């Protein structure tokens, strides 16, 4: 049997982080900064991340903060983000997948890690080996954990959080089935119910519809808490709030812990009039450089399908990022104004339109009005740039709106061939 292999993240082979039984958990491969030749990269501002954690802590009051770092910390790179938050004193980390939890443990994260997805296959031993806290909601979860504790030694104890479906209709035990699950759980003295959680469907739906849905779900969750107490259980962590529920004006779902994800990365769901004031800073910048420049005559077609034709003699810059890097192709579709694509980037501190459709690896932008544009100028698709012509910021919300997406989608779509650079400005 070969020992576990630990390649660097830039390795050509996927990293094997568990091997020996039938299971091999593979760490996703990403481009690493040292492998970067192309000038395209995502820059993550770690001081903005710490700032956001402080702001969230203030909003959370007495509640513990469990940072949701699933999907590679919303595309930011989970190990580096978790390390930063852990040093800044975050109370715990929540991920969706067992694999994501294992990745963080093997990166040296010591904070409690909650695995929320609930699909553990036959890998319950892996949960225990990595000291992860599973979210559970059916009897099979208890059976699997009990089997794993037996295999690993009778003294092994394990904490779980029970998830209750209070109206999201996705994962969790229903309030009607909860007593039966608790009866079943009582047969497993080695398993401690340390948490009780639910998830809101409409925390970011402004207005009465959102209010009504939240009130209904909270009422069901309160009944669930009463049922759990009636079984003599006192879970330390009762939690429900994602970013929107934490920040929503006139609503308090902080309980013992909160589970913000997107707010950590600087995006406040809900328009400002519907939420408590909070100052968040965007953590992500996506930038590249001009790698080609050409002057085209009026009427010249640009890009696949020649969907854009120069309305005048124009200067077109080519930038090496495209939809395979996670930029939504829909930002380059033509708007009502035939002279402009809808998406913009920032060059020399000034906005320039994306013209022609986005290719897999390349974007074309009209820099006719960008005085002095030249090769190697920085081009920002997301984030802030100051330059000789001014300064501007493209927020994740703006890019999402332009593309007809949600901010979560934009963040998590930045693909793994884009190396992440971590900045401490
Ligand atoms: C169960 C659960 N809790 C918390 C979060 C964090 O949500 P947000 O990023 O909106 O703060 C998510 C993300 O979708 C989730 O699935």
Residues 331-367 pLDDT 10s = 987 655 555 558 999 999 999 999 999 999 999 999 9
Kindly report, residue by residue over 183-206, the tens digit of the pLDDT: 999 999 999 999 999 999 999 999
Whether the CB of 257 sits within 6 Å of ligand 1: no
The span from the CA of 120 to the CA of 141, in Å, is 8
Class at the top of the CATH hierarchy for domain 46-271: alpha beta
Q: Which of 137, 304, 323, 350 is catalytic?
A: 304
Q: Residue 68 CA: which ligand 1 atom is closest?
A: 6
- Domain ranges for the chain, please list them: 46-271, 284-423
The span from the CA of 198 to the CA of 81, in Å, is 25
Whether the CB of 242 sits within 6 Å of ligand 1: yes
70 is a catalytic site residue: yes
Residue with tokens 């009582």: 186
Model confidence at 157, in pLDDT bands (50, 70, 90)?
Answer: confident
For the chain, percent of residues with pLDDT exceeding 90: 84
Greatest CA span in the chain, whole angstroms? 79
Mean pLDDT of the chain: 91
Model confidence at 156, in pLDDT bands (50, 70, 90)?
Answer: confident
Candidates 68, 118, 203, 257: which one to mutate for ligand 1, based on the most atoms within 8 Å of Cβ?
68
- Secondary structure element (H or E) that encloses residue 113, with its range: strand 113-115
* Arithmetic mean of pLDDT, 225-239: 98
Candidates 65, 240, 242, 396: which one to mutate for ligand 1, based on the most atoms within 8 Å of Cβ?
242
Fold: same for 46-271 and 284-423: no
**Which residue, judged by its Cα, is nearest atom 8 of ligand 1?**
261
Whether the CB of 172 sits within 6 Å of ligand 1: no
* Residue 280 near residue 52, CB atoms below 8 Å: yes
Q: Which of 70, 163, 285, 350 is catalytic?
A: 70
* Arithmetic mean of pLDDT, 251-278: 95
**Which residue, judged by its Cα, is nearest atom 13 of ligand 1?**
261
DSSP states of 201-262: SSTT--SHHHHHHHHHHHHHHHHHHHHHHHTT---SEEEEE-HHHHHBTT----SSEE--SG
Whether the CB of 259 sits within 6 Å of ligand 1: yes
Q: Which residue has the higher pLDDT, 174 or 8?
A: 174
Whether the CB of 260 sits within 6 Å of ligand 1: yes
The alpha carbon of 327 is separated from its chain's Cα centroid by a whole number of angstroms, namely 16
Classify the phi-psi angles of 61: left when phi > 0, otherwise alpha if psi is within -120 to 50, otherwise beta.
left
Task: Supply the pLDDT for residue 29.
Answer: 58
163 is a catalytic site residue: no
* Arithmetic mean of pLDDT, 151-159: 87
Residue 16 has pLDDT above 50, yes or no: no
Q: Residue 197 CA: which ligand 1 atom is closest?
A: 1
Between strands 158-163 and 133-136, the pairing is: parallel
Whether the CB of 261 sits within 6 Å of ligand 1: yes
Model confidence at 56, in pLDDT bands (50, 70, 90)?
Answer: very high
Kindly report, residue by residue over 327-339, the tens digit of the pLDDT: 999 998 765 555 5
Class at the top of the CATH hierarchy for domain 284-423: mainly beta
């Amino acid at each position: 049997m070969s020992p576990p292999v630990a390649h660097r993240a830039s390795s050509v082979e996927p990293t094997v982080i568990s091997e020996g039984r039938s299971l091999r958990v593979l760490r996703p491969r990403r481009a690493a900064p040292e492998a970067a030749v192309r000038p395209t990269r995502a820059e993550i501002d770690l001081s903005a991340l710490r700032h956001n954690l402080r702001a969230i802590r203030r909003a959370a009051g007495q509640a513990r903060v469990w940072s949701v770092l699933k999907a590679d910390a919303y595309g930011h790179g989970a190990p580096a983000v978790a390390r930063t938050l852990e040093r800044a004193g975050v109370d715990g980390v929540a991920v969706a997948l067992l694999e994501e939890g294992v990745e963080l443990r093997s990166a040296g994260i010591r904070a409690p890690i909650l695995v929320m997805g609930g699909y553990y296959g036959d890998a319950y031993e892996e949960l225990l080996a990595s000291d992860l806290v599973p979210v559970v909601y059916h009897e099979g979860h208890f059976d699997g954990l009990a089997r794993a504790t037996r295999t690993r030694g009778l003294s092994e104890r394990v904490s779980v959080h029970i998830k209750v479906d209070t109206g999201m209709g996705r994962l969790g035990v229903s309030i009607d089935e909860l007593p039966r699950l608790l009866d079943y759980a009582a047969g497993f003295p080695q398993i401690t119910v340390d948490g009780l959680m639910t998830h809101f469907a409409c925390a970011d739906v402004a207005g009465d519809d959102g209010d009504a849905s939240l009130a209904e779900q909270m009422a069901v969750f309160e009944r669930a808490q009463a049922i759990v107490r009636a079984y003599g259980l006192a879970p330390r962590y009762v939690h429900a709030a994602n970013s929107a529920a934490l920040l929503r004006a006139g609503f308090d779902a902080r309980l013992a812990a909160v589970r913000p994800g997107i707010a950590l990365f600087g995006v406040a769901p809900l328009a400002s009039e519907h939420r408590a004031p909070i100052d968040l800073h965007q953590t992500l910048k996506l930038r590249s450089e001009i790698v080609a420049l050409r002057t085209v005559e009026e009427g010249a077609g640009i890009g696949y399908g020649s969907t854009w034709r120069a309305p005048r003699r124009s200067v077109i810059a080519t930038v090496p990022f495209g939809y395979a890097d996670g930029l939504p192709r829909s930002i380059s579709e033509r708007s009502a104004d035939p002279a402009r694509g809808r998406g913009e980037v920032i060059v020399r501190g000034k906005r320039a339109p994306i013209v022609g459709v986005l290719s897999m690896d390349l974007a074309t932008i009209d820099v006719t009005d960008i005085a002095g544009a030249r090769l190697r100028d920085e081009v920002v698709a997301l984030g802030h740039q100051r330059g000789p012509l001014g300064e501007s910021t493209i927020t994740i919300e703006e890019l999402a709106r332009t593309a007809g997406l949600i901010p979560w989608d934009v963040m998590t779509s930045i693909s793994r061939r884009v190396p992440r650079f971590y900045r401490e400005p």
